[in-house]
Amino acid sequence: MDKHTLIEKLQLSPHPEGGFFRRTYESSHTHLGRRLMSSIFYLLTDDQPTGHLHRNRSDIVHYWQGGGSLLYTLLTPEGKLLQITLGPDVPSGEQLQLTVPGGFWKGSQLLCGDYALISEAVCPGFDFDDHEMASADEMQQRYPEHWPSLKALCQT
């Protein structure tokens, strides 16, 4: 399978963070007006290789589905930088799933291949009101020690 076929067959659309996506599930159950869970397909390609730095209020579990590996760069609320590779090479330390707690800054980059496909489960369900894109100026000022790792993940 190639990236063009995946975009077509999975009915993916451009995502504001970069790459392509489609919401595949939204719980009918709610609590305090919030859906309890939602899920998406998310695809990065060699011509859209970056999921730009952002944070969400909800916890998100990422599941590697196919293609190449992805490097996730996370910044904790305390300012600690973490880098984790999501992909198929478990013996080399890659992970098949990754949980990112709400409040963490998160960005992703395609490491190899024409594409990487993941699924994400969001709890409570995703709401754009809970989503914040990183400002390059703010990231550089607040985290100068991490700027070399964050620069490529910030939208310009």
Per-residue pLDDT of the chain (156 residues; tens, 9 = 90+): 899 999 999 999 999 999 999 999 999 999 988 999 999 999 999 999 999 999 999 999 999 999 999 999 999 999 999 999 999 999 999 999 999 999 999 999 999 999 999 999 999 999 988 899 999 999 999 999 999 999 999 987
The reply to whether CATH 2.60.120.10 applies to domain 14-153 is yes
Report the alpha-carbon distance of residue 138 to residue 80 in Å, rounded: 16
Which residues are CB-contacts of 144 (< 8 A; sequence separation ≥ 6)? none
pTM of the model: 0.95
Say which amino acid occupies 129: D
